Amino acid sequence: MSAIELLEKLGSQPDLSMQDLSSEQQALVKAQIEMAGESQPTLSIVEPTDPEPDEEPEQK
Q: What is the pLDDT of residue 18?
A: 92
Q: What is the pLDDT of residue 27?
A: 95
Q: What is the pTM of this model?
A: 0.55
Are 10 and 16 within 8 A, CB to CB? yes
Q: What is the pLDDT of residues 11-58, one digit of tens each?
A: 999 899 999 999 999 999 999 988 887 777 888 888 888 777 777 777
52 backbone dihedrals φ, ψ, rounded to 5°: -70, 140
Are 32 and 8 within 8 A, CB to CB? no
Q: What is the pLDDT of residue 60?
A: 65
